[in-house]
Structures are given as structure tokens and as C-alpha cells.
Amino acid sequence: MTQTDETSNSRSPGYFKYMIIILMFVLILDNYTQFYSAVIPSKVVEEFLGNYPQNVANSIFAFSLAIASLGSYIVFLVWYSADRIGRKFLLVLSIFGMAFASLGILLSRNIVEYTIFRLILAIFVGSDIWLIYLNEESPPEKKAFWTNIALIGGMIGILLMAVFRSIYITDTSPVGAWRGMTYFSIILGIPLGILVALTIKETSKYEEIKEHRLTTKERTNLLKKNFNTIFKSDNRQAYITALFLNFIWSLNGIYISLAELYMAQSPYLKEGDINIVVLILVPSIAGGFLTTGMLADKMGRKPLLYVYVVLFFAGAAIFLVGVATPGIALILVCIGQAMINIAYWGTWVLNSIIVIELVPTDARGTGTGFKSLMGTLAGTTALIVTGIITYFFSLFVVFVLFIIILLINLPLIYKFMIETRGTDLSQIKS
């Protein structure tokens, strides 16, 4: 047996199960922290921008989120650092970062302070180092399975988010009650960060890379080397296609970040109705994770991408019609939001797995981080466009524009995407 083989097999089954459990808690924190910020926009607008006309307040808030999204650009550096200094340090840092950012949001006194801490939150929520942990420690034929096992466990965070929103935000809750949504992230994040630092090991595949660098005394510009590895590899065309798919898909992230704000302005939906819609997110997001987990390894990555594009488009249409329909608004909005979230989060997992399966191990953090960077660029672009269009027109126009753009993904998938099902990460050629 070679040294590489010994390193790859150094993780016991007991440790692997323990790691899965710990990563589930990381996902609980990550999901809760990410989603609580998406279900309080109308309350933040009410407290900090309540003196402005609705279209102006919505426009200012969209620009606030666009500025906050700049934090996500640093995610690329986080993933690059994962290739240079290891996965573990960045995992621990992201956990503590989510707790710190939540504390800052809790103490914010105006829209400027809120924006600053949302920016910090964007850095650590978007890091997702747990994903590379799972994919580097899982057997090739079970990567999607174990990723989705962790994701399903992490759904507890979304469930808690929905429960806490129904407690803190009601038709009679005072202005500022939304701040209670930050408590859980602070309380869980600090002890979890300590536990991960003390008990979780570096991934075996990264240890292989580290040992190789020490053995060969490699001295080079790692970032330049990694990009050369990625864009000169056999999979470069498929990787570039995945970047475009992710960019277009991320434009439609406004259906996640601004849906609550849009629903709150409907005359046919009360606060209790919105809490019901938020609660619907739990099974629908779980549905996206489960669908990917069950079908990605069976029917393949590429066919499932087609399904998600069509499902998202149909869900968006039902959602937009539902918000403006008296009598059955709640029913249609619940159906539409369920379809949107199944497709959005299912694709998020699927595209992340595809990118990991396209990039060689020594550049995987950089390749995944660059994919996140492109998604962030799309998110910032979408929010800036939203701020401008909303000021002159409405959120409805924005939603229609981006859902039409999403259809571009269909020919891109057909023409340029390759099937990556069953890929052995160790066999990907530079």
C-alpha cells in the first residue's frame, strides 16, 4: 500500500459517522442563519426605512443588500485559503463568524450598521466549507447521498427559523421584535465552533496534498497554479458552463431574498399567512435536498438540471399570480414557493457537487470558490438592477425579468454540460 492510500484510509467508520453528525449541526447553524435574514426584510424596512415611500424604501433596502453582498466576494478568498492552509481552520472560522455577525445584527441601530453586519454574515454563510469536507471524505458513489444526509439533518435549522419567526413576528409584535431571530445563531455558534476546533480532523485528501507539497518542497504562486489547473484541464468547458449556469441561477436568488418583502405588501396576505408560507419552506427545501440525494446518483446530474429549471419557472409564475389573487392567495403562494425552493436549493446542491466533480483535488477549493464568486457577482447584479427598477416600477417587474432570463440555462445544459455521475475525485485529470 502506498503512502497516499494509507492517508486516504486513515479515517475510521466511527469517526466518519461522528463527522457527519457534527456537520449536521454546522448545517443547522448555517441554514438557520442564512434563512432568518431572508424572512425579516419587511420588518427591517419598517424599523429603519419606515419614513420613506414604499418604492423608495424597497429600493434603498435592495441597494443595502447589494452592498452587503460584497462580503460574499471574500468567500472566494476563503475557498482559496482552504487550498493553502486547509479546510479545518476555515470551517471553524466560518462558525464563529456567523455567531459574531448575528450579534452585530442584533445590536444594529440603523440601516448602515445593519448593512455592515449583513456584509460580514455574507462572508461566513456563503463559505460552505462543510461541503468540501463531505465530498472529500465520502466514497465516490455516495457523495450525493452523504451530502444530502447532512443537509436533511441541517433542515432542523430551517424548521427552528420558521418556528421562531412565528413567535417573534406576528400581527401584534412590536417594531424591532425581529431582533430575537438572531439569538439562536449566537447561542449555538460559539460552543459549536469550539467543539469543531477540538474534535474534527483535517480532511484526508487535503493531508495528501499537504504531504506532497512538503515532500516536493513546492514553491509557486498557488492561485495562478490552481487557475491553470482548472482552465487547462479536460473538464474546462464543462466547468465554464457550470459557472454560467450558476450565474444565471443566482440572479433568481431574489425570489429567496426578497419574497418576504413582496408578500408583506400584498393586501391579500396577513402576517400569519406569511408565517405559514415560511413554515412551508421547511418541507420544500428538504424536498429539494431529498430529490437531489435520491435522483442525482440514479438519473444523473444533467437530466435533473433540466427538471429544476422547469420547476422553478412554473413555481415563480404561480407565486406571482398568487400574490395578486384574492381568496386563494395563500394557497397559490404556498404552492409557488414550495416549487421555487425545491428547485432552487436542489440545484444549489447539484451544481456544487458538479463543480467539485469537475475540478482536480489540488485546485478544488479554488474552483468551488470561483463558482461562489460568480454566483455572488450575479446576486449583486440582481440587487442593483432590482434597486433601480423598483424605484421606477415595482418588484413584480424585477421578478418577471429574471425568471425569463433563467430559461437561458436550458440550451446551455444541453449543449455544453457533461454528466459527472460516479466520478472518482482522485482520478480527475489536470
Evaluate if residue 309 carries a pLDDT over 90: yes
What is the spatial distance between Cα 335 and Cα 327, in angstroms, rounded to a whole number? Answer: 15
Complete domains list, the chain, with CATH: 12-206+228-427 (1.20.1250.20)
Across 105-188, where does the E strand assignment appear?
A: none
Evaluate if residue 217 carries a pLDDT over 60: no
Evaluate if residue 7 carries a pLDDT over 50: no
pTM: 0.69
pLDDT at 14: 80
The distance of Cα 183 from the centroid of its chain, to the nearest Å, equals: 21
250 or 1, greater pLDDT: 250
- AA letter at 121: L
Evaluate if residue 186 carries a pLDDT over 90: yes
The pLDDT-based confidence of 3 (bands split at 50, 70, 90) is very low
pLDDT at 185: 94
The pLDDT-based confidence of 115 (bands split at 50, 70, 90) is very high
pLDDT at 149: 79
Decide: 32 and 121 in contact? Cβ < 8 Å.
Answer: no
pLDDT at 317: 94
What is the spatial distance between Cα 95 and Cα 380, in angstroms, rounded to a whole number? Answer: 24
> Residue 125's closest CA among 252, 255, 256?
256
Evaluate if residue 194 carries a pLDDT over 90: yes
364 or 51, greater pLDDT: 51
Q: What angle do CA 379, 383, 386 make, to 5 degrees?
A: 140
pLDDT at 74: 76
Cα→Cα distances 53→49, 59, 60, 391, Å: 9, 10, 11, 10
Crossing angle of helices 74-84/111-125, nearest 10°? 30
What is the spatial distance between Cα 109 and Cα 358, in angstroms, rounded to a whole number? Answer: 45
Evaluate if residue 316 carries a pLDDT over 50: yes
The contacts of residue 181 (CB under 8 Å, 6+ apart) are 36, 39, 40, 161, 164, 165, 168, 169
> Residue 150's closest CA among 19, 5, 281?
19
pLDDT above 70 covers what percent of the chain? Answer: 83
Three cell numbers, residue 318:
404561480
Max mean pLDDT range (171-185, 213-227, 312-326)? 312-326
The pLDDT-based confidence of 17 (bands split at 50, 70, 90) is confident
Element (H, E) at 230: helix 222-231
pLDDT at 362: 65
Element (H, E) at 410: helix 409-416
Evaluate if residue 6 carries a pLDDT over 60: no
Three cell numbers, residue 428:
480527475
